[in-house]
Amino acid sequence: MTEEKFNESNINVFRHVKKIVGTIALCKSTRLQNSGWIKRLTVHKNYRRKGIGTNLVNLALEFGSQQGYRRINVMISDHRKAARELFNKKDFEIYLYRKKSLYGTSVILLFVELTYRLKYNDNDAELLATDPFYTQAH
């Protein structure tokens, strides 16, 4: 919730202890033109499954749209099932899978990159066809 919307909501917070229970970070992509990345989405464990993550993602998508982004991507560890469910509910699609090995071990972590298309035009098909990361996944 933006500060402006919060002020308009007339929520009286003076009787409540103020604490941050969730954050999201969206930044401009350096790899994909007119795109953004959700770099961080965190909700305190005592406040999960209450719609806070969904609201944060909605705000990030709204902000990305205002910035003129055509799509927003997010990278999630494969074992983070709740995060995958959240982004699947928001209609993010699988963009590609990535593997990362831990330093000096035989442990391999699997990540999935998801994408959400904010705007679509004919150039997107050409962009996807020439994107080396996209072609590796398909």
Query: Among 54, 52, 137, 48, which residue's Cα sits nearest to residue 97?
Result: 137
| Separation of alpha carbons 98 and 36, rounded Å | 18
In contact, 37 and 116? CB cutoff 8 Å: no
In contact, 76 and 110? CB cutoff 8 Å: no
In contact, 71 and 117? CB cutoff 8 Å: yes
| Separation of alpha carbons 104 and 91, rounded Å | 37
Angle of the 52-66 helix axis to the 81-89 helix axis, nearest 10: 50
Q: Diameter of the chain by CA atoms?
A: 55
CATH of domain 20-119: 3.40.630.30
pLDDT per residue as tens, the chain (138 positions) = 666 776 777 766 666 667 888 999 999 998 888 999 999 999 999 989 889 999 999 999 999 999 999 999 999 998 899 999 999 999 999 988 888 888 777 888 889 999 999 875 555 554 444 444 444 444
Domain ranges of the chain: 20-119
Total-model pTM:
0.71
Q: At residue 47, what are phi and psi to the nearest 5 degrees?
A: -120, 10
